[in-house]
Amino acid sequence: MSARTRNMILGALSLGVIVVTFAFVLPRIANYRDVWEVVRDLDPVWLVALSVAVLVNIVTFAPPWMITLPGLRAVQALLFTQASTAFTYIAPGGGLVGMAGSFGLLRAWGFESGPVARAVALTGIWNQLSNLLLPVIAVLLLSIEEQQDAVLTTAAVVGGIAFAVAVGVLVLVFWSDQLAHDIGRLAARVTDRVLALVRRGPVRGWPEGLAEFRSQTVRLVQRRWWLLTIATIVGNLAVFAIFLISLRAVGVGSSQITWIEAFAGWSLARILQLIPLTPGGLGPVELGLTGILVGLGGPNAAVVAAVLLYRAFTILPTLVFGAATIVGWRWLGPRREEGDPAPAGNVPTGERAEPQGRDVGRDPR
């Protein structure tokens, strides 16, 4: 099967899921006419609150990248994160598309591949680990209120196991230079055999490149892990704030859905967003979040209205801003004269500059 055919099939499947969700499933939960009645009567004060929450959310996108990629400034990080996130809403693949888009966008600005790969990897790892831990935290909060939910408990167990496995793999990968060197050598051998079938290769420098990448990554994590953790937590709380405000804006009060129950449903929906089936999890997230909140006692029409409002205020601003940024990408990047070093060489004052590794796998010839 060719790549084009595979992409067409995946695209058709993605479109089918979205159509079924919004045209058939959600209308069975609540008639769109009733949903519109709820949204139409929104108090302007809530719209202002949602707008402020959206602005805060957009701002929180930038710090993790500024932390993991020295030399990336605040305005650049703000533009970049909106553009890269927009990729996840344009094509199926979710986070994978976003990571590939992030790498390409930063390389187009002149940042070197080693630091960019490190920033993409660390921000991605921290985001995924936080998503896996969210249901665990939600179940703990529910237990404090003496509430239990079988679906959330199962999700929390699965998330906890996945989190432990992921941390274990990371520890193994970054355990020592020798282990990284051995992994790089093994990966190079496998790749060389595959490339030999099409008379390409061999790759060069993988063992040394991975060992150097590991060493620089460990140094960066040792200095900045706590900043990256705080930035990731704040970013997640900013997204949840939009959802909670959406619930309260449509009249779903704490007597119907407490903030802990809302957090529990939202945390499970975040896991659904990790499934690379539709752009940005469009369809599964709305369906899963609606089903959970209705099951917790929320009124159907108001819950559907809140979920659609939440998704609109988290997706549309980034999609519009990000698409506009992508169009003018090369004109928005770091300005430097011909012959100036790449921006990845900028290191914040007070930190020792680290040597930049060569492109892993690139033949120096």
Closest CA to 125 of 207, 228, 276, 219: 228
Question: How many domains does the chain contain in total?
Answer: 1
- Residues in the chain, pLDDT under 50: 336-341, 344-365
In a domain, 164, yes or no: yes
Place of tokens 């290769």: 201
CB 209 within 8 A of CB 357: yes
CB atoms within 10 A of CB 222: 8
In a domain, 353, yes or no: no
- CB-based contacts of 268, cutoff 8 Å, min separation 6: 135, 138, 151, 152, 155, 288, 289, 292
In a domain, 160, yes or no: yes
Most distant CA pair in the chain, distance: 68
Alpha-carbon distance 82 to 144, whole Å?
37
Task: Write the DSSP assignment of 280-291 as a string of letters.
Answer: GGTTHHHHHHHH
Question: Phi/psi class of residue 33: alpha, beta or left (left: φ > 0; alpha: ψ in -120 to 50)?
Answer: alpha
Domain that holds residue 125: 11-332
User: What confidence tens digit (pLDDT) does each residue in 217-235 have?
Assistant: 888 988 999 999 999 999 9
Q: What is the pLDDT of residue 287?
A: 93
In a domain, 104, yes or no: yes
User: What confidence tens digit (pLDDT) does each residue in 262-306 have?
Assistant: 998 999 888 887 777 788 888 999 999 999 899 888 999 999 999
Q: What is the pLDDT of residue 331?
A: 73
Q: What is the pLDDT of residue 330?
A: 67
Q: What is the pLDDT of residue 338?
A: 46
In a domain, 21, yes or no: yes
pTM score, whole prediction:
0.81
In a domain, 351, yes or no: no
Q: What is the pLDDT of residue 92?
A: 63
Place of tokens 């089903």: 291
Q: What is the pLDDT of residue 172?
A: 66
In a domain, 195, yes or no: yes
In a domain, 358, yes or no: no
